[in-house]
Chain A
Amino acid sequence: EDQVTQSPEALRLQEGESSSLNCSYTVSGLRGLFWYRQDPGKGPEFLFTLYSAGEEKEKERLKATLTKKESFLHITAPKPEDSATYLCAVQGGSNDYKLSFGAGTTVTVRA
């Protein structure tokens, strides 16, 4: 069974203080690793998909990287508007349709 563990559960940052979120996974044949952002009271919003170890993707202050066992979401010089819960999910080779989600990391950026 595919498993995803995110750490830390919560992260409090000062504006401008860069940091990283971790997503550790076990999956039979990774087809894709997904990062989502979720604001309070809203549905998850797609950020990135990574397909193979060594791949990196960037969007504004966010950069996602992937190894064979984990993914990192780096937040560079965060702003208060980056405050949200960040979700990681994987799709394994055994199932076309199912994403396995981690519990998320809640990031709070103080001005």
Chain B
Amino acid sequence: NAGVTQTPKFQVLKTGQSMTLQCAQDMNHEYMSWYRQDPGMGLRLIHYSVGAGITDQGEVPNGYNVSRSTTEDFPLRLLSAAPSQTSVYFCASSYSRTLGRRGQETQYFGPGTRLLVL
């Protein structure tokens, strides 16, 4: 199993450009999510999905769109990049839609995408 994969590893954008961050998992996990990580702050949830065709907003959704057409893929779209979106983005997945359910809570993270918006 490749686990959770993310592409690209690093991207530089100009303000106003759009792009899609790719995320895929091969573990048949129901739950997938996107986080951003900024210096001095904890990981913050952007969007999440509990299954194909179902998505919802997290803590910091503005400026981002998601869709989930298959179980495996969960792309994150930046509509019009802004310098405030400079960050490291992590995709994660887990078997259970209820993370607190014992034995099914392990959340696997991808290696991250480093995004710089100029």
Interface of A with B (CB < 8 Å)?
4, 31-32, 34, 36, 41-46, 49, 51, 87, 89, 91, 96-104
Q: Give Cα A89 to B59, complex, Å.
A: 15
CB distance from A30 to the nearest CB of B (A): 9
- The secondary structure that dominates the B interface is loop
Q: Which A residues are CB-close (under 8 A) to B31?
A: 97
The answer to whether A31 touches B99, judged by C-beta atoms less than 8 angstroms apart, is yes
CB distance from A5 to the nearest CB of B (A): 10
Q: Which B residues are CB-close (under 8 A) to A46?
A: 106-108
How many cross-chain pairs have Cβ atoms below 8 Å apart between A and B? 68
CB distance from B23 to the nearest CB of A (A): 11
The answer to whether A32 touches B42, judged by C-beta atoms less than 8 angstroms apart, is no
Q: Which B residues are CB-close (under 8 A) to A4?
A: 42
- Residues of B in contact (CB 8 Å), total 30
B48 CB within 8 Å of chain A: yes
Q: Give Cα A42 to B99, complex, Å.
A: 22
CB distance from B29 to the nearest CB of A (A): 13
B109 CB within 8 Å of chain A: yes
The answer to whether B112 touches A103, judged by C-beta atoms less than 8 angstroms apart, is no
The answer to whether B99 touches A32, judged by C-beta atoms less than 8 angstroms apart, is yes
CB distance from B16 to the nearest CB of A (A): 28
Interface flags, B3-24, vs A, CB<8A=1, else 0: 0100000000000000000000
